[in-house]
Chain A
Amino acid sequence: MFSILPPNSVSLLADTIYLSFAGALLQVLLPKGKPSLSRWLALLVAVAGLAIAVVGFIAGMGQGRVVIVDAPWVPSMGIHYLLAADGISRVLVLLTGLAAVAGVLFSWNIELRTNEFFAFFLALIGGVYGVFLSFDLFLLFVFYEIAIVPKYFLIAIWGSTRREYAAMKLALYSFVGSAMVLIGLLAAYATSGSHSTSLIDLSHAGFSVSFQMWCFPLVFIGFAILAGMWPFHTWAPTGHVAAPTAASMLLAGVVMKLGAYGCLRVGMSLFPHGLDPWGFSLIGIGSWRDVFAVLAVVGIVYGALVALVQTDFKFVIGYSSVSHMGFVLLGLMTLNQIGMTGAVLQMFSHGILAGLLFAIVGRIVYERTHTRQLAELETMHLAKRLPFAAWAFVIAGIASMGLPGFSGFVAELQVLVGAWKVNPWWVACAGVGIVVGVAYTWRVLQKAFFSDLLPSGHVLEQEHGHALAPITWPEVTGVALLISVSLAVGLYPRILLDAIEPAVKTLLAGGGQ
């Protein structure tokens, strides 16, 4: 159907990485007094990346894993510069492209050190593209770590509440997580005879079951820290709240997916026997699979319950991210086709929706009202003064609740169906999480936008004194982009499922063929 594109267009995908880093470098070299130059360059790079991602996605339809480049990097240790893309990678690269464009659009108003901001932003995007396209474990790890430093600076310099603390916490958590992964990587490399670090080779290395039993949880937890698995999630709400809008969008939207992707691509593919039953079981938990599934479910419910009682708008969204990522991890632990497909779809869906929610809360509301406290927002009648934000949040909220017609419904449904096949209790608890999800979204929607409370005196004078700044075209474009993607995937999920399902099937059949 899409034979107009030459089949090797998939190899274009690697250009997303190079473009982003080149863009970052160029940003640093731009003259300092011209923020608009910075913005347009960043937008150009992001849009180019998205275009390539789309082309690569379409060209890759119907193909399995396509190797893009395989060059020896450090031959003496068997390390290759190996980039490849299967269905899952292509979907996540697409997500990154969308998140990048949306992020740039919602950062249009940054005036402080604009070129440095976009330099760090594009460097982060480049690292993320790299992780999703790497098929060499060492290379994946390199890109994974590259993404840590820009995050720190983005939050520490341009963030808000307690930014330096939040930035350091996030950087250290990420680094500790990646340290755990590094230990696992070194162990796997040494145990397999130190011949190669390619994921494909390592998945054939035939590690002993006892080795996998401890290496798997180490690597999985290392990655799961970044995915926001309970109880290692505490960096996430603080980090998201402190980060500037574009960084929160990327953090919740894409970076947390890096963790989940690592769990899948590295943890579960290389050490599949790590999920086997231990032979004994304690309160119903008899394998690492049970442990992580339970943690995932706890995350879903805990995140939702805590979100329900927050007084800061952005914290609600931050905790809701923890809750939604729980679905991803639960889906991964189902180890069946439908559950894992749902997990990957949820990665995409939540990536888009989290970006949208943070954009509305951060860029559209906070930057105009200068408060995120629900108690204050209640008195501001935002439905009248910021109707665009209100209605955008309505749509984003119902999408986030998992209403059919948007991307979240199919994803969560698939995860639940998959989880049902393993353990109905997981489904019951996750279902509770969904219901609470409706509740907190509802609460925050009411309080922030549609409240009928009479305004306090000082808010009244604000209302008379200054109108809120009008909605700018980048904001409209960004919101439209994200909503339409979520809607498109929600109404016709086959666009993505056709790419994800074969890849999941291959992974389940015995990884990395």
Chain B
Amino acid sequence: MKEMMTGFPILTLLTALPLAGAAVAFFSGRHARAVALLTTLASLAIALFVWTQLPSDGSIGLVELHQKWVPSLGIEYHLGVDGLGALMLVLSAIVALMSVDAAHRVHHQPGLYFGLVLVLESGLFGSFTALNFFHWFLYWELSLIPAFFLIKLWGGTKRGPAATQFFVYTMAGSVALLVAFLAVFLSTGSMDFPTLTNLASTGALDKMVTAHLGPITLWLAIGVLAGFAVKVPMIPFHTWLPAAYAEAPSPVTMLLTGAMSKMGVYGLLRIAIPIFGAQIFQIRTPLLVLAVATVVMGAWAAAAQKDLKRIFAYSSVNHLGYCLVAIFALAVPAAGVGVHASQEAALNGVILQMFNHGVTAAALFWFVSILQSRTGGHRGIDHFGGLRKPAPVLAGLMGIALFSSLGLPGLNGFVGEFLIFRGVFPLAWVAATVSILGLLVTAAVILTVIQKVFTGPVPEHCVGFPDLHHGERLALAPVIGLMLLIGLLPQLIVNSVNPTVVNLLAHWRF
């Protein structure tokens, strides 16, 4: 991988900016939201700028490398982004902005709330730019703490257990990650992702691990996978999710589903596959089974829910399940142009799906938050009805978001799923076929939501349901517009992502 050094540490700046904003927000009291809005807007601007500065060949650019952090432990300060990372940066910035925008009713300790949100954003930026395990792990953990407190302090009635479960699961996954990486370090003396990828692609990593520690490379891979499996989540490590997503205040859920879950998928793409590709190929089948289960179970569970937040929570599990299916499906040794093309398609699909799902899911939870605020906290699906009469704009915009989640062509949700299926069918047709079930059930779920919430007779308490007012329309319009834009012109993203995909695949060895 060619790496270019730039003079100005823009990635460090991007990561540090939300921290600085958080410090200001802590002390700003009622004005914390304004501070947070400014900060997230600025971050978005910088993220977009980073996006434009990417090298055209898809390699890692904007590198900052200082080697002497803790040499004895192989810890270096190494940052860099390629198309994948930069897209995630943009996504995080967008979702954070959306989350702050949606949170206009934080009465209790707003300074602390927005401060924590900004710290979380910083954690996201950090983990998407880190190329050395130490500070990648630091940011991984760093994002955990604010998330916990955001759920714990501003959440719903059962927030205590939900937050605890969230913390314990993620911590356990982190421990597995840490132990596995320690073992890797002990064998190779390096914690650097590009270096380790190179070692893995030549097969040297396995040899070194076996020489130092015995034939445990597969177990290390499983440990690493476990860490990410909790985050995405993948069945059966998902049980923390429904409670956490439901009890967290909706703006926080936007962050959780929009950005934090992507940390898991990103980790698989940046760390697990490059470094442990061969091992993943060895256990590909069970992994595919779990991924398909995630897709199908996610959809079925969503169908059984009555709480809007839980419906969308399980639906998130389902959508990210497609990413998992694709990732594990493409973990096959390159055997020809056909396979290679499918892998490219699948990977492109994964990355797009990450972005699109992030935006869409965040938007959906935003709408739930709006609904909730108008009914005084109710969000059961049966509570609403026929809202398209009193609130047509709301129905329209939310409808677009819902259809995007369903995967309607012309909206952004379609592109990613399409590419995924296009890539997975040749690589693992059984998995792809079963996953179709997921698509069908999801369609049913979404349509049910639309039907129950927007169509049908209007119950009394919904008669005077206020529509979106100006501010909300203004805030939501760009989001919906983005959905349409990406749906109609996906090449805006794909053109920049594809070189990265090619580059990544070139360095992966299964």
Contacts and interface: CB of A to CB of B under 8 A. Distances in A.
Given A404-B134, A435-B175, A417 B73 contact: yes
Nearest to B145: A398
A442 B167 contact: yes
B175 A404 contact: no
A394 B145 CA distance: 9
Q: How large is the interface on B (under 10, 10 to 19, 20 to 34, 35 or more residues)?
A: 20 to 34
B70 A404 contact: no
Interface residues of A, number: 28
A245 B164 CA distance: 31
Contacts of A420: 182, 186
Interface in A380-439: 383, 387, 394, 398, 403-405, 410, 413-414, 416-417, 420, 431, 435, 438
A403 B145 CA distance: 11
A438 to B, nearest CB: 6
A253 B109 CA distance: 34
Nearest to B185: A417
Contacts of B138: 403-405
Interface string A473-502: 000000000000000000011100100010
B357 interface: no
A416 B182 CA distance: 9
Given A405-B142, A442-B167, A410 B135 contact: no
Secondary structure of the A side of the interface?
Answer: helix
Contacts of A442: 167
Contact of B70 (A383, A446, A452, A493): A493
Contact of B73 (A398, A414, A492): A414
A431 B179 contact: yes
A413 B75 CA distance: 11
A413 B69 contact: no
A341 interface: yes
B70 A417 contact: no
Interface in B292-337: none
Given A404-B138, A438-B171, A452-B160, A417 B69 contact: no
Contacts of A387: 109, 112
A428 B69 CA distance: 27
A338 B72 contact: yes
A410 B75 CA distance: 10
A338 B185 CA distance: 14
B137 A341 contact: no
A134 interface: no
A404 B137 contact: yes
Contacts, number: 52
A494 B68 contact: yes
Given A405-B138, A452-B160, A413 B145 contact: no
A431 B75 CA distance: 20
B141 interface: yes
Given A416-B182, A417-B182, A420-B186, A404 B141 contact: yes
Given A338-B72, A493-B70, A450 B152 contact: yes
A351 B134 CA distance: 23
Interface core residue of A338, A403, A442 (most chain B CB under 10 Å):
A403
Given A404-B135, A404-B137, A404-B138, A494 B152 contact: no
Contact of A497 (B72, B141, B159): B72
Given A404-B137, A431-B179, A337 B72 contact: yes
A410 B70 contact: yes
B370 interface: no
Contacts of A435: 175
Nearest to B179: A431
Contacts of B134: 404
Interface core residue of B72, B142, B152 (most chain A CB under 10 Å):
B72
Nearest to A428: B179
A88 B402 CA distance: 63
Interface string B138-153: 1001100100010011
A394 B149 CA distance: 10
B72 A414 contact: yes
Contact of B153 (A337, A383, A405, A416): A383
Interface in B349-395: none
B167 A413 contact: no
Contacts of A398: 145
A413 B175 contact: no
Nearest to B186: A420
A439 to B, nearest CB: 9
Interface string B70-111: 101101000000000000000000000000000000000100
A161 to B, nearest CB: 30
A492 B69 contact: yes
Contact of B141 (A341, A403, A493): A403
A214 to B, nearest CB: 34
Contacts of B152: 450
Contacts of B185: 417
Given A417-B182, A450-B152, A494 B69 contact: yes
Nearest to B75: A410
A446 B164 contact: yes
A414 B70 CA distance: 10
Contacts of B175: 435
A23 B179 CA distance: 49
Given A383-B153, A398-B145, A405-B138, A497 B186 contact: no
Interface string A438-472: 10001000100010100000000000000000000
Contacts of B153: 383, 450
Interface in B31-86: 68-70, 72-73, 75
Nearest to B68: A494
Contacts of A404: 134-135, 137-138, 141
A494 B68 CA distance: 8
A338 B189 CA distance: 13
B283 to A, nearest CB: 24
Contacts of A410: 70, 73, 75
Contact of B186 (A414, A417, A431, A501): A417
A88 to B, nearest CB: 16
A113 to B, nearest CB: 39
A341 B73 CA distance: 11
Nearest to B212: A420
Interface in B166-191: 167, 171, 175, 179, 182, 185-186
A156 B75 CA distance: 46
Given A416-B182, A417-B185, A501 B72 contact: yes
Interface string A134-152: 0000000000000000000
Interface in A51-83: none
Contacts of B182: 413, 416-417, 420
Nearest to B157: A452
Nearest to B70: A493
Given A404-B141, A410-B75, A438-B171, 20 more contacts: A337-B72, A341-B72, A394-B149, A403-B141, A405-B138, A410-B70, A413-B73, A416-B182, A417-B73, A417-B185, A417-B186, A431-B179, A442-B167, A450-B152, A450-B153, A452-B159, A493-B69, A494-B69, A494-B70, A497-B70
Interface of A: 337-338, 341, 383, 387, 394, 398, 403-405, 410, 413-414, 416-417, 420, 431, 435, 438, 442, 446, 450, 452, 492-494, 497, 501
11 contacts: A337-B72, A338-B73, A387-B112, A404-B141, A413-B73, A414-B72, A417-B182, A417-B185, A452-B159, A494-B69, A494-B70
